[in-house]
Amino acid sequence: MTERSVGYVETKHHHLKELFRLVNGDELAGVSIAYETYGKLNSDKSNVILICHALTGDAHAAGWHEGDKKPGWWDIVIGPGKAFDTNKYFVICSNVLGGCKGTTGPASTNPQSGLPYGLSFPRITIEDMVNLQYKLLKNLGISSLYAIAGGSMGGMQVLQWTVSYPDFMKKAIVLASTAISSPQQIAFNEVARQAIIRDPYWNDGDYYGGELPKQGLSLARMIGHITYLSDDSMHDKFGRDTRENEMFQVESYLHHQGDTFTSRFDPNSYLYLTGAIDKFDLSNGYSLAKSFSNIESEFMIISVSSDWLYPSYQSEEIVQALGSNDINVQYRKLISHFGHDAFLLEKGQLNYLLSTFLGHLTVGDVMSEDVSTLREGCTLEEAAQLMILNNATHIPILAASGRITGIVTSWDITRAVANKISSIEKILSRDILTSHPDESLSNAALIMEDNAISALPVVDDRGCLVGILSSDTISAMVGRGAK
C-alpha cells in the first residue's frame, strides 16, 4: 500500500425500502446497492464526487480490501493528494444496477420466486443505473455533487446524469466514452454476447447453482480485451514472442484474462450491461445538441489518442454538442498508446488533467459567506472585540448601502496601538482590492499572492460585500496547505 492510499476500505450495502421503478415501467423490489466511500463529507455536503464504473468494474474504486493483491480499479486518481483528493473530497462509487458485485442484478434472488432472476431480470438502461445512483445519494442525504466522473460505460452514466439531473452537479468528467453507441461497438458486444449464449451451459441464463458457461464468458472477455488495447501497445507488450507451449504471448495473455474473469463476473450481467450500452443514444436518434440543452454543469471531456473502440471523434461529438449550448467544456486528448485502457492507466496525465479541472474553481465556489462586518463609524475597540469573538483577522467596514468602504485587520489594530491612534478612520485601509464571485479562484489567488494579502473581500456587481476569500481556504483547496 502506498502512502497516498485511502487505505483499507469496505464495501457497504444500501437496501432500498421502496420499489425501484425502471424507465420502462417495470418495478424491482428489495433492491440492494453496493457502494464505497473515501474521504469525509464536509458540513454543507458540498464536496461529494460520484465515480461511475465501466462494464466490468465495481464499487471498489480505490484503496484495499483485506487480502487484496491490488487496490481498487481507479486507485491511481483517488486518494490523498491525488486528483480526486480524499483530503478535500468525499468520493462515492457504487456498483451499477444489473451488475454482479453487490448491486441487484440478474444473479440476485428474485424476492417473488426466491430464485435467481436470470433472464426474468428486466432489461435495464444506462438511465436506470443513474436513477438508482440518484436514489442512493438522496438516501445518504446528499442532494448535490461537486463533480461526477467516469470512463467508458462510466462516461455514459456521467452524460446521462447531467441530462437527467442537470442541476445536481457542478462539474462532469467523461473519459473515453460516447453519447451514442456506434454500430462497431454494438457489433463487438454482440459477438461477446453470442460467445456466452452459445455456451451450452448458459441454458437460457438458468445456470445458477449448476455448471457456469465459463467457456463462453471467457471468450467474451478475450474479445473485449483485444478492443481495450491498441495495435501499438500489443506490439510493445507481446510482439511475436512465444511461450514454451508454442502459443504466442498474446494468446496466453488473452486466455489468462478470459479464465480469471470467469471467477469474478456473472455471464448474465455481461449480457444485460452490454445491452444497456448498445441501447445508449443520448441523441434519441435526433440531436445531441438538443438533448444537452438543459445541462448546467461544466465539462471536461477526455479521449485517448490510440483508443479505437471509443475513438476521439465520439468525444468530439460530445464537445461540439455541449459547445453549441454554450456549456463550458474543456476537451483533452490523452496521448497514449495504451488504447481504450488508457483511462485506467495514464496516471500522470490523468492526475494533472483531472486536478486542474476540479481545481478550476470560482471565488464564489469557495468564499466564506459568513463574514463579520462593521459599519462605518465603529470604534477601534468594537473591531478588536469582533475579531476576538469570531476569530477573524479581517473585518470589512461597510457603508449603510452595504458597499465596502475599507477593511481593518488585526495588524491595523496592532499598528494603532503601537502608534497610540484611537480613531479607526485613521488606520483603515481604504485602497482595497476586491474580488467577484465569478472570478476564477486561481486568478484571485494570484492577486493575493502578488499583493501579499491574506484575505480578499468578495463583492457583487453593485459593490456590496457578499463574502470573503482567505488564503487559508485557498491553500486547503489547492492542496498547498496539506502537510
Catalytic residue selected from 53, 60, 340, 394 = 340
Does residue number 287 form part of the binding site for its own copies (CB under 8 A)? no
Cell of 336: 497514449
C-alpha span between 184 and 424 (Å, rounded): 73
Cell of 12: 457497504
Cell of 448: 493575493
User: Nearest approach, Cβ of 184 to its own copies (angstroms)?
Assistant: 5
Ligand-binding site membership of 221 (annotated):
yes
Contact segment (CB under 8 A) with its own copies among 34-42, 167-175, 188-196, 375-383 equals: 188-196
Does residue number 377 form part of the binding site for its own copies (CB under 8 A)? no
Spatial contact of 405 and 398, defined as CB atoms under 8 Å apart:
yes
Question: Which residue's CB is nearer to its own copies, number 46 or number 283?
Answer: 283
Spatial contact of 172 and 162, defined as CB atoms under 8 Å apart:
yes
Does residue number 306 form part of the binding site for its own copies (CB under 8 A)? no
Report CA 468 to chain centroid distance, whole Å: 28
Does residue number 199 form part of the binding site for its own copies (CB under 8 A)? yes
SS3 46: coil
Contact segment (CB under 8 A) with its own copies among 77-85, 87-95, 197-205, 475-483 equals: 197-205
Local structure of residue 226 (DSSP, 8 states) = H
Does residue number 114 form part of the binding site for its own copies (CB under 8 A)? no
Catalytic residue selected from 5, 94, 108, 152 = 152
C-alpha span between 103 and 427 (Å, rounded): 63
Q: Is 337 a catalytic residue?
A: no
Spatial contact of 356 and 252, defined as CB atoms under 8 Å apart:
no
Pairing of strands 169-175, 145-151: parallel
- Contact with its own copies (CB under 8 A) among 32, 87, 164, 194: 194
C-alpha span between 97 and 92 (Å, rounded): 15
Question: Which residue's CB is nearer to its own copies, number 114 or number 286?
Answer: 286
Listing DSSP states for 370-429 in one string gives: ----EETT--HHHHHHHHHHHT-SEEEEE-TTSBEEEEEEHHHHHHHHHTT---HHHH-B
Q: Is 435 a catalytic residue?
A: no
Does residue number 186 form part of the binding site for its own copies (CB under 8 A)? yes
Query: Which among 291, 309, 299, 358 is positioned nearest to 127, based on CA atoms?
Result: 291
Does residue number 180 form part of the binding site for its own copies (CB under 8 A)? yes
SS3 57: coil
- Contact with its own copies (CB under 8 A) among 140, 163, 223, 432: 223
* Inter-axis angle of helices 214-228 and 267-279, nearest 10: 40
Question: Which residue's CB is nearer to its own copies, number 200 or number 348?
Answer: 200
Does residue number 222 form part of the binding site for its own copies (CB under 8 A)? yes
SS3 172: strand
- Contact with its own copies (CB under 8 A) among 183, 209, 210, 348: 183
Question: Which residue's CB is nearer to its own copies, number 141 or number 285?
Answer: 285
Q: Is 450 a catalytic residue?
A: no
Does residue number 420 form part of the binding site for its own copies (CB under 8 A)? no
- Contact with its own copies (CB under 8 A) among 22, 41, 226, 433: 226
- Contact with its own copies (CB under 8 A) among 47, 56, 157, 181: 181
Query: Which among 133, 55, 39 is positioned nearest to 91, based on CA atoms?
Result: 39
**Interface map 237-266 toward its own copies (x if CB under 8 A):** xxxx-------xxxx--x------------
Spatial contact of 470 and 455, defined as CB atoms under 8 Å apart:
yes
Catalytic residue selected from 307, 355, 394, 412 = 307
Ligand-binding site membership of 462 (annotated):
no
- Contact with its own copies (CB under 8 A) among 15, 40, 198, 430: 198
Specify the DSSP element, H or E, that contains 37: strand 32-38
- Could you list the active site residues? 152, 307, 340
The annotation places the binding site for substrate at 221, 341
Which residues make up each annotated binding site?
Answer: 221, 341
Residues binding its own copies (CB under 8 A): 180-184, 186-188, 190-191, 194-195, 198-200, 215-216, 219, 222-223, 226, 229, 231, 234-235, 237-240, 248-251, 254, 278, 281, 285, 308, 311
